Structure 1
Amino acid sequence: MEVKVIKETTYRVKSVWKTLQGEGLFAGRPAVFVRMVGCNLWSGYADTRERDAARTGANCPMWCDTDFTKEGSKAYTAAELAQEMRSVGGDVNFCVVTGGEPLLHLKPELVEALHQAGFFIAIETNGTVSLQESCWSEEQGELITPDWIVCSPKLPQDQLTLEYFDELKLVLPDYHPEKYDAFAKRQRPNQVQGSQLPLLWLQPEDGARLQQATQMAINYALDNPEWRVSVQTHKILNVE
């Protein structure tokens, strides 16, 4: 009788590091970051920027400065990655899984391994991969999801499949609130002192258009106070 060997899922990781969360509600909080390899909107290589922007219809390949390529990456099982994160993070119990696009990789067994290691799990996603697709557990018959979801859309709202999020971050000037009015309603309600807290952020693009984008964000927030201007505090503090 032939015995089938089930190969354990591995996760291709670019880097694991301890730092401060730089943006959003948890800005300034010590965190263990995990950068997954790969994205569905850009290859990560400079010579494909225009090609991938045309292929996907996203603007982000033209200005994204994140290195999520496979070079220098390492493969971990869920248990190995949780152990590495605990080793790097020490007593830090807040982790951020990012990319690239983390929902291309995040599976229920990894979520469970990180929870067992004592982590509160936040992710940063572009909204094009659904939780049903990435986090459904056939074994348990339910979704096994991260604790906190930050979505920074890079495609029009009618192409976004993410079912819900906790924070919405729009990078100006390419992604404007008026184009995401329906998607913004997918935010999970979060209560602070008995009132719902709108975690809707306007993030000025860090580049040649920074001054223009910053003024645009300020003007929009002043006229629409449910929105906030996001400041990249990790860059101000000069931490990765």
Structure 2
Amino acid sequence: MSDVIYRVNEVFETIQGEGFYSGTPAVFIRMQGCDVGCPWCDTKHTWTVALDDERSLAEINQPSGDRQRWAQASADELLVLIQSYQAKHIVITGGEPCWYDLKPLTAKLHDQGYMCQLETSGTYDIQIDERSFVTVSPKINMRGKRDVLASAMQRANEVKHPVGRQSDIDALDALLVHCPTEAQIALQPISQQKRATDLCIQTCIDRNWRLSVQLHKYIGVL
């Protein structure tokens, strides 16, 4: 388990801008690699793992600027990078971070007093320390043709669903039968569209759900 090597696009400190922990200072670990194929994805530079894009670990210890680059890192090496920052909340995202076994990394972080949050599409098995907070942002009928797993929905502490139209909410309803009753449900308008935002607001009011507004985009931070 301790020999897992991660391909990482960037490590940087900012605030969490989405979902339950919105506004929380956080260190983001962005993994390289994803085959889900969301058309609105704002990190498409993380999709491909090309050998020519490998860089040193020192270079990825900063925002990537949307560059398609990555470095190999062990859990111990990532812990050293993270200890250079102030935030104690760690967000593991991608790409699709569940390409990787995250148990070695998250166990080390929790043992050192950090709080880990995973952000995943729910289309891969979730291998993570049981103390971690799991945010599933279910990606349904995407180009990669991967199904959202019932096991991923069952592990979710939070379901943060991207919404553009009513059919997206209908598709979410079909998945929620697998979800723990105590899980937080948040709707997130796609691309800050007014029509989608209005739909999310009304649905959250009607169902007593939460609204996730991508705070970092409104205030202009990473």
**Under a length normalisation based on structure 2, what TM-score does the superposition of the two structures give?**
0.78
Larger RCO: 1 or 2 (CA < 8 Å, sep 6+): 2
Instruction: Tell me which residue corresponds to 1:229.
Output: 211
Instruction: Tell me which residue corresponds to 2:198.
Output: 215
CA gap of 1:213–1:173, structure 2 versus 1, over 3 A, is: same
Shift, 1:183, TM fit: 2.3
Instruction: Tell me which residue corresponds to 1:159.
Output: 147
Aligned: 1:73 with 2:61: no
Measure, in 2, the Cα distance between the counterparts of 1:128 and 1:14. 20
Aligned: 1:201 with 2:186: yes
The amino acid that maps onto 2:217 is K
Contact 2:4 2:101 survives alignment (8 Å): no
Measure, in 1, the Cα distance between the counterparts of 2:194 and 2:10. 31
Measure, in 1, the Cα distance between the counterparts of 2:181 and 2:14. 28
Contact 2:110 2:131 survives alignment (8 Å): no
Q: Percent identity?
A: 32
For residue 119 of structure 1, the aligned residue among 111, 114, 122 is 114
Shift, 1:17, TM fit: 0.5
Runs of 4 or more off by more than 4 Å in structure 1?
A: none
Q: Secondary structure at the match of 1:8?
A: coil
The amino acid that maps onto 1:160 is V
Instruction: Tell me which residue corresponds to 1:239.
Output: 221
Answer with 170-179 or 30-39: which moved more. 170-179
- How many residues matched? 194
Instruction: Tell me which residue corresponds to 2:82.
Output: 85
Measure, in 2, the Cα distance between the counterparts of 1:63 and 1:74. 25
Shift, 1:202, TM fit: 1.3
The amino acid that maps onto 2:196 is A
Measure, in 2, the Cα distance between the counterparts of 1:218 and 1:115. 35
Measure, in 2, the Cα distance between the counterparts of 1:172 and 1:79. 37
The amino acid that maps onto 2:161 is L
The structure with more radius of gyration? 1
Report matched runs for 1:35-184 at 5 Å.
35-42=30-37, 60=38, 62-66=39-43, 67-68=45-46, 69-70=48-49, 71-87=68-84, 89-90=85-86, 92-131=87-126, 134-135=127-128, 144-145=129-130, 147-155=132-140, 159-161=147-149, 162=152, 163-173=154-164, 176-184=168-176
Contact 1:166 1:189 survives alignment (8 Å): no
Shift, 1:106, TM fit: 3.4
Shift, 1:7, TM fit: 9.5
Shift, 1:225, TM fit: 2.7
Structure 1 vs Structure 2 CA RMSD: 2.4
Contact 2:4 2:75 survives alignment (8 Å): yes
Measure, in 1, the Cα distance between the counterparts of 2:10 and 2:131. 19
Instruction: Tell me which residue corresponds to 1:51.
Output: none
Structure 1 alignment gaps of length 5 or more: 1-5, 43-59, 136-143, 191-197
CA deviation profile, 1:129-178 (whole Å, cap 9, x unmatched): 123xx34xxxxxxxx3451011111126x932213201111111166222
Shift, 1:102, TM fit: 0.8
Contact 2:19 2:211 survives alignment (8 Å): no
CA gap of 1:36–1:146, structure 2 versus 1, over 3 A, is: farther
